[in-house]
Amino acid sequence: MVFTMWLRPLILASVFVWAVATPSPQGCDFSHGRWIIDEASLHPLYDASRDCPFIGFDCSRYARPDKDYLKYRWMPSGCDLPRFDGKKFLERSIGKKIMFVGDSISNNMWQSLTCLLHIAVPNSNYTLTSQTQELLVFSVPEYKASIMWLKNGFLVDLVHDKERGRILKLDSISSGDQWKEVDVLIFNTYHWWTHTGQSQGWDYFQVGNELRKEMDHMEAFKIGLSTWAKWVDSNIDPSKTRVLFQGIAASHVDKKGCLRQTQPDEGPMPPYPGADIVKSVISNMAKPAELLDITLLTQLRRDGHPSIYTRRGTSFDDCSHWCLAGVPDAWNEILYAVLFGNY
């Protein structure tokens, strides 16, 4: 249960209200660019320990000694990325429900957004609720806005069978009712599809009535993601709900790792496994989701991971998740620009 490691104690309450989302901007590609030191000293956008003690992924809290990783901002090649305006975000989200659906990388982005919104209106009451083991809700009652994270590592069904163990049903989604009647949906999945050995999250794949012990993981990922895409096309009305897909965030689980990395890498970068699958599946949707393509900007930030600066300390070198403040704040700056046309 990854998210429990990162979250502080939760305050109970919540608000749910319905509204319609805003149209999408066109013409600005945020996916290509470079990381630059913010000479205006606007980054980091917050001090997690001081401003948002309720979030995790705070590497400074766990004694990360260097600070330069906090000072970078993402500069797209073809346009400028506006500074995140949390108050304006809330004003444009009055009465709305925004839901992140995905794994702990999705949770990373959700936590960043909750902090960015909180520091924008620090005197407004907020509630942070663990409604179920899988559903977390950050609410700002003054704006009747709810920002939710629903844990779902694969988007397709993972079922437990007494005889065979964990079966990942690549062509089945039975939990989709939880995704309905939401104004903005931000999906993600990828992190767990790449695991092998003891860290693998399933024992068998299933497609139709066929059980398979072995399958190429990227092939399975494509089938599962296509099932999600078909579900969205069949069940979500784009005139009522905005659908986005949080692209693949690169991990740096390789020989170089991320420990003691203090600066962004320089490009160009090779194609990242699975990124082409995401683009292909989304482009073939009848009602394509909007892709938040964060793959390149994360490939360049080997220095942005927690590494050993977590509760687990030196027992685990975390090169998959991201420090807060840090790289996920740029994801939310892109989200802000895409949702509200601020570019």
Does residue 254 register a pLDDT over 60? yes
Does residue 19 register a pLDDT over 70? no
Question: Can you give the length of the chain in residues?
Answer: 343
Say whether 318 is catalytic: yes
Going by C-alpha positions, the residue among 132, 144, 131, 167 that lies closest to residue 98 is 144
Return the pLDDT at 27. 67
b/e sequence 209-247, b meaning 16+ C-beta within 10 Å: eeeeeeeebeebbbbbbbbbbbbbbeebeeeebbbbbbb
Say whether 160 is catalytic: no
Marked catalytic residue, from 31, 60, 104, 112: 104
pLDDT tens per residue across span 99-143 = 999 999 999 999 999 999 999 999 999 999 998 889 999 999 999
Give the separation between CA 158 and CA 172, rounded to whole angstroms: 9
Return the pLDDT at 180. 97
Say whether 195 is catalytic: no
Does residue 230 register a pLDDT over 80? yes
Mean per-residue pLDDT for 137-163?
Answer: 98
Q: Which residues contact 247 (CB under 8 A, 6 or more apart)?
A: 31, 188, 275, 278, 291, 292, 293, 294, 295
Does residue 10 register a pLDDT over 90? no
Marked catalytic residue, from 139, 191, 321, 329: 321
Domain limits, the chain: 2-338
Mean per-residue pLDDT for 198-223?
Answer: 98
Return the pLDDT at 20. 31
Give the separation between CA 56 and CA 326, rounded to whole angstroms: 12
Return the pLDDT at 14. 31
Mean per-residue pLDDT for 24-52?
Answer: 87
Return the pLDDT at 13. 32
Return the pLDDT at 342. 62
Predicted TM-score (pTM) of this structure:
0.91
